[in-house]
Structure 1
Amino acid sequence: MNRYLFLKEMSNRCSLLSSFDVGPCDSTQSSIADQLKAVKDRDTRRDYMNGSVLQCRTCNTVLGDSLGICGEIQSLQLIVCLKVSDDVSVSKQLEMSLDGHLAFSTYHLLRCAGCKSSVGLALHSTPEHLSALRNLFLLRKELINCYMLRTGKYVQASKMSFIHRLMDKDIKELKQDLEAQLKQVKILEGMMDKLCTRSVD
């Protein structure tokens, strides 16, 4: 059960409890409500200040940001993105490459809405070795500038690395955090079940 569904279920249970003889001064009910609020209000924001904004090198139109990047293809100098901004339009016409790294692939050009220039491509059909890149947004590094949020400076995308390296330490920390949250959810579920049982009796 994901956290949203759990919180919705807890909210429904709290509504159910209010129909039984549980007074507003009941300390158990208020402590559960406080704990549910703490889970709901927990700060899950990312550190956005370490991010960057991808902009068209010609006209500075925002094309995406670092949260949408999932890697790069170094041999082709392409940034691989899961999502881009609404200012990137996908051409309806299919193009075909007959040579090079993208040989025998068909693709749609990605265009900047500001200056109408081509900024990348989205692969439509590919040989098997490129199949993982189908339907992703591939932005050409040489046509992109990155605005760094922390420093407020522009850096050419061609001078940056977009390879994601998941460190073992980060994975362990994430696992510990998820286990702690799961433990808290189980405790809250147990408390709610006990409270519901008492109220029915």
Structure 2
Amino acid sequence: ELVPSILEKFIKPYLREHNLHKDELLLQYIKDLLERCCTRSSSVFETAWEAKAIAVIGCISDTDLKFDAVLQIMHGAMVPWSAAVEQLVKQHLEMNHVKVKLLQESYRLMEMKKLLRAYGIRDTNLLKDKQMIMRLVKYILKQDTPASLEDALKIAAAYMLPTVEVYILKMIDLIEKERGEESPTLLKSLTLGEA
């Protein structure tokens, strides 16, 4: 709540005096803030910079630059995102703007990062080639958690890989674990197209 009043009292007169563009300056502030704060790993710093950045976004009037700022925050925020960042992103995903597609792609990547973190995988560079993605799918299936099949299918769908391969890997895993009797149940759960 202090940011708009500080902007009115101090920053706007400075901008007029030096003939600077407010929205571009605020976007640059967010970029600088991210650069300074994202090198620290403490969660105390996480929420402090996020609150500042979100407040500053509220003062940007140019919608294009506002989307650029949201994208900056999406890329700089630690996964899983805080509720405030999540809300900011969802709010902008519902808007009608050309950059919504970029937001959707970044959001999908964040979802994948969050999913991989649940399996102890922090390196998202592994999602760059299809062979490595299939290795990740296999690793996730080997964890044999209640959500592992669903998570492996999410990754396959997100990267447009054939889901049938995920089911085959799951059945191989069941057989290797001497749980082959679970295969018919798995097969029955498939749609006709998948089977």
Fold shared, TM-score > 0.5 on shorter chain: no
Structure showing the higher helix proportion among its residues? 2
TM tier relative to shorter chain: under 0.3
- Relative contact order (alpha carbons < 8 A, sep ≥ 6): 1 or 2 greater? 1
Please report the TM-score for the alignment, with normalisation by the length of structure 1: 0.24
- Structure number with higher strand proportion: 1
If you compute each CA radius of gyration, which structure gives the higher value, 1 or 2?
1
TM-score where L is the length of structure 2: 0.24
